[in-house]
Amino acid sequence: MSARRTTSTAAGAASCCSPRCWRRSAALACNMEAVLMTDTTEHWVEVLEAAGVPCGPVYNYQQMFADPHVRHRGLIQYATDPELGDVPHIRTPVKIDGSIRVRTLAPKLGQHNAEIFGRMGLSEQDIETLQAQRVV
């Protein structure tokens, strides 16, 4: 039996999990990036869609909130933060009678550290020591 393990993807192609395949996938990614950098995202989306490849651009936040389709589908909603004010979010694209909404903001960095570390058995002093050492 081979040590190489493969998994089938939705498209039916096999992906390899061995180190040899990882090295090849890194080289493939490097080659693909070199080609893709030769033109704009819009160009490559057009080329790939024309070839029947389902695809779309990967957006930064500014592009995502400006996308006409995102706006048309009403996917932008706001949640209020006491420090930041109204913060835009992208809601789930699945619409079930309008009841799915962003109820709370994502936690701030480190907001739940004391609670989580406390559950792990660390004391307040342990956490303060880690903070003083800039570990957390």
Burial, 21: exposed, middle or buried (Cβ in 10 Å; 0-12, 13-18, 19+)?
A: middle
Domain containing residue 95: 59-105
Q: Is the domain of 41 the same as that of 77?
A: no
DSSP string, 31-57: HHHHHHTTS-HHHHHHHHHHTT----P
10 within a domain of the structure (yes/no):
no
8 within a domain of the structure (yes/no):
no
40 within a domain of the structure (yes/no):
yes
Rounded CA-CA distance 73/102 in Å is 16
90 within a domain of the structure (yes/no):
yes
Q: Is the domain of 101 the same as that of 69?
A: yes
- Arithmetic mean of pLDDT, 103-131: 88
SS3 category, 29: helix
For the entire predicted model, the pTM comes to 0.49
What is the chain's alpha carbon radius of gyration, rounded to the nearest angstrom? 23
Q: Is the domain of 65 the same as that of 83?
A: yes
SS3 category, 6: strand
1 within a domain of the structure (yes/no):
no
Q: Is the domain of 114 the same as that of 78?
A: no
Count: domains in the chain: 3
Tens of pLDDT, residues 15-62: 556 677 777 888 888 999 999 999 999 999 999 999 999 998 999 999
Are 76 and 64 contacting, i.e. CB atoms less than 8 angstroms apart? no
